[in-house]
Structure 1
Amino acid sequence: MPYAAGPATQGTNGMAIASMVLGIVGVLMCWCYGIGALPGLIGAILGHVSQKQIRERQQEGKGLAITGIITGWSAVALTVIGIVIVVIIIANDPTFWDEIQNGSSSSDWD
């Protein structure tokens, strides 16, 4: 006597997977000239959209979507913090750009 099959799942939501990947990439790149904010923001948005799809379509991947949201918004926050730190450094040291443009020699550190 065959067993009755359980309800068929729709599989893992692809947008949730993309959300998690972009969130992680955003965190890893958040100190690269502010580039990490873009994949982080996209990952967070995809995470929110995928949560809605997961509820409506009875799919799997809720944890992936939550991970994408958390890492995505973390990447955006870390990027903003990094930019604020750089702006504060530049504002407090008016010779900052001169030193960068002229290059600093090893004798400056002696």
Structure 2
Amino acid sequence: MTYPQDPYGQQQPYGQQPYGQPYQQPGYGYGPPMPPQEQGLAIAALVVSIASLVVCSGLPSLIGVIMGHIAHSKAKRGEAGGQGMALAAIIIGYIGVAIVVGLLLLFVVIGIATDWDFD
């Protein structure tokens, strides 16, 4: 069995910390462990954003973007986890909004170009 070395090359008895270093239990960081952070809002935002791409609808895309922004700001403040998922939800939601707006513009341009009547 080997013993930990201190900075001066002297061996310390097992379990004893060198001078100037706080005692740390094996497997634990300094202080109590952090509780797991809630990621529910980020997960929900990502699910809604992906679902909006599947159904190709604008309202779920906007809801996913709004939920994603809320989850991202909470994660940046340290109140929740899932910052990456929230950012992905924002990006996917904006892509969904862009697709819906692009399709709407395409239909309007085609309607104008072919003189469609709605009678």
User: Is the pair's TM-score, using the shorter chain for normalization, greater than 0.5?
Assistant: yes
Q: In the alignment, which of 6, 23, 42 is matched to residue 16 of structure 1?
A: 42
From 1, 19, 26, the equivalent of 1:3 is 26
Q: Equivalents in 1 of 2:116, 2:100: separation in Å?
A: 24
For residues 27-42 of structure 1, the aligned pairs below 5 Å read 27-30=53-56, 36-42=57-63
Task: Name the structure 1 match of 2:102.
Answer: 81
- Partner amino acid for 1:75? G
- Residue 84 (structure 2) aligned to one of 63, 67, 80: 63
Aligned to 2:52: 26
CA separation in 1, counterparts of 2:100 and 2:45?
18
Q: Following TM superposition, by how much is the alpha carbon of 1:3 offset from its aligned partner in structure 2, in angstroms?
A: 3.4
Identity %, equivalent residues: 31
Do the aligned partners of 1:10 and 1:58 also contact (CA within 8 Å) in 2?
no
Q: Distance in 2 between matches of 1:53 and 1:63?
A: 12
Q: Which residue of 2 aligns with 1:107?
A: none
Mark the CA change 1:63 to 1:53 in structure 2 (over 3 Å): closer, same or farther. same
Determine which structure has the larger helix proportion and give its number.
1
Name the TM-score, length of structure 2 as normaliser. 0.67
Q: What are structure 2's unaligned runs of at least 5 residues? A: 1-14, 16-24
Between the aligned partners of 1:68 and 1:95, the Cα distance in structure 2 is 37
